[in-house]
């Protein structure tokens, strides 16, 4: 965990060319997306704005995927699952705060349903069968988790996990946790819109850009080319 933290921190301050060796040592390469059916049970709501918090490994890639989904109004990288006084990158990276690197997704249910976001989360944004890790990153801060905002979100997510496991949609059982929401804390500015601002960084090239490409390929009707950014609007 410490090696991963040090390496990713180095990425923030160095040009990509200077860290290729380090990246190669830690990057496994993006896994192929898994084609899965939509949820049989979806949320019904008349609201025009709703929020859910997804955790699925490094927040750079998860944010990058959801910023390209039509109907998503905002996707913010941050921390969830721990206390406010430990919601800083250095502390969270130690792996003992209870936080997970997360993305708060605000969306318009009239344009994209919660169930569709779940489908993209499980099939493209990360691998839900990896316990406390994603690709080169390991530790509870990289766990697969959904911090649901309502009992309806909880019910739909539970049903979908059961549906996917029953259909053996993945080669292993889903380990995604449905956790109680106790606050979301936006990450530091340098972590926002990271995929868009640093498309040539080796970590992004190897682990995250393929996810955006898979989103476009598998869900062309859901894909928008222009991302919804945190800094300076969309």
Is this prediction's pTM over 0.75? yes
| pLDDT at residue number 4 | 44
Q: How confident is the model at residue 3 (pLDDT cuts 50, 70, 90)?
A: very low
H or E element in which residue 23 lies: helix 20-26
43 closest CA partner among 164, 157, 167, 144? 157
- Using 50, 70 and 90 to split pLDDT, how confident is the model at 30? low
pLDDT of residue 121: 98
**In the predicted model, what is the mean pLDDT of residues 102-123?**
98
Angstrom distance (rounded) from CA 16 to CA 33: 26
Provide the pLDDT for residue 233.
Answer: 56
Mean pLDDT of 159-181: 97
Listing DSSP states for 199-234 in one string gives TTSHHIIIIIHHHHHHHHHH-TTTB-SS---STT--
Instruction: Respond yes or no: is residue 58 known to be catalytic.
Output: yes
The SS3 call for residue 130 is coil
* Mean pLDDT computed over 52-69: 98
Residue ranges and CATH numbers for the domains of the chain are 38-197 (3.30.1060.10)
Q: Which pLDDT score is estimated for 7?
A: 44
Alpha-carbon gap, residue 178 to 155, rounded angstroms: 10
d(CA 149, CA 178): 11
Tokens at 10, concatenated: 């180095």
Report d(CA 214, CA 192) in Å as an integer.
21
CA 41 to each of CA 115, 182, 209: distance values in angstroms, whole numbers, following the listed order: 8, 25, 30
Task: Say yes or no to pLDDT of 6 above 60.
Answer: no
From the list 23, 33, 52, 58, the catalytic residue is: 58
């Amino acid at each position: 965990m410490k090696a991963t933290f040090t390496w990713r921190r180095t990425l923030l301050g160095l040009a990509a060319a200077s860290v290729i060796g380090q990246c190669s040592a830690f990057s496994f390469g993006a896994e192929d997306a898994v084609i899965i059916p939509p949820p049989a049970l979806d949320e019904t709501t008349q609201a025009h704005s709703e929020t859910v918090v997804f955790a699925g490994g490094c927040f750079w890639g998860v944010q990058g995927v959801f910023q390209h989904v039509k109907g998503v109004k905002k996707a913010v990288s941050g921390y969830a699952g721990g206390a406010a006084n430990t919601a800083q990158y250095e502390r969270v990276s130690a792996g003992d705060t209870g936080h997970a690197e997360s993305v708060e997704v605000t969306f318009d249910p009239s344009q994209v349903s919660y169930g569709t976001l779940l489908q993209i989360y499980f099939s493209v944004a990360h691998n839900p069968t990896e316990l406390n890790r994603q690709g080169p990153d390991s530790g509870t801060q990289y766990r697969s988790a959904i911090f649901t905002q309502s009992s309806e979100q909880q019910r739909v997510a539970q049903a979908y996990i059961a549906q996917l496991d029953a259909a053996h949609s993945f080669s292993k059982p889903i380990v995604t946790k449905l956790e109680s929401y106790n606050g979301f804390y936006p990450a530091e500015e340098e972590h926002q819109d990271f995929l868009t601002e640093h498309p040539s960084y080796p970590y992004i090239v190897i682990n995250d850009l393929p996810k955006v490409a898979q989103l476009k390929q598998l869900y062309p009707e859901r894909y928008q080319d222009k991302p919804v950014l945190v800094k300076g609007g969309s």
